[in-house]
Structure 1
């Protein structure tokens, strides 16, 4: 009798389920090392406009912020700072990502980080029926409604991408 492969739930999935939010997961191959957003969209046969990346930035040495934008866009640091009510925002050094969030590059979900951080979703997401974000593990994406993502992360929709 063949063993059934057990699906491992990540923190992000557990939290979404505990909030009774409808979601789907989609996995993709990671062996080729290509886990940037556009590659993920391609591997999952999804439009890049529906695939979002989670970026962690610093307003100060101790204040971290989360920005969720389409993989086709670039974060505008000035708009991000304005949205967060800060003078300046800079990206968190990659070497500090796991220590600060509990997630690794390519598997950083906006849901279920070590600490609840102020979170901002690009306003373009509001018009979508659904979007994909990391489910908390490289090779696993989570599909959910933008409003549900905003609800579970206590996020605001704001203009944060470069023109």
Structure 2
């Protein structure tokens, strides 16, 4: 069962400022958990297809311009995996790779396992897996381990300026 709390993370502050409705869902996080997303789904009694993880990647530009890769967020169900090729296509790049954990933490201001797609230190291009649109509410990290936010997919798109595309695989 979800516990209610005052929250107070950059994600909740950003949503409140934007006037976007959300719900807070706290659970007791086990630091030994193999998958933080599956842990959240189980602890909150949710379908893992409805709980989404936030993954930081580096997407290389599609042109041979010699530019460095751009940090890009992929949001996919915890029940699946991020398809890096599909993410690169959706972000207009040629290839993608997972970003270094330390780089993701620096760029977002969050700790790995608690990275929210909302309220990051600076905005990053974001792609939300299209399966999110099948739900009235999806759940994403609230900005710390043990805290998820329930939010309408359209509001998540609005809050993150995300592109919606098929970027997950089973």
Runs of at least 5 residues in structure 2 that lack an aligned partner in the other structure: 61-67
Q: Paired residue for 1:53?
A: 53
Structure 1-normalised TM-score? 0.91
Gaps of 5+ in 1: 1-5
User: Structure 1 stretches (4+) deviating beyond 4 angstroms?
Assistant: none
1:130 counterpart (121, 126, 137): 137
Once the two structures are superposed, the pairs formed by residues 1-163 of structure 1 within 5 Å of their partners are 7-34=6-33, 36-60=36-60, 61=68, 63-162=70-169
Q: TM-score w.r.t. structure 2 length? A: 0.88
Two-structure CA RMSD over aligned residues (Å): 1.5
Please identify which structure carries the higher strand content: 2
Q: SS at the partner of 2:94? A: coil
Going from structure 1 to structure 2, the CA distance change for 1:72 and 1:31 (only over 3 Å counts) comes to: closer
Q: CA, structure 1 residues 64+32, in 2 after alignment: closer, same or farther (shift >3 Å)?
A: closer
How many Å apart are 1:162 and its aligned residue?
2.3
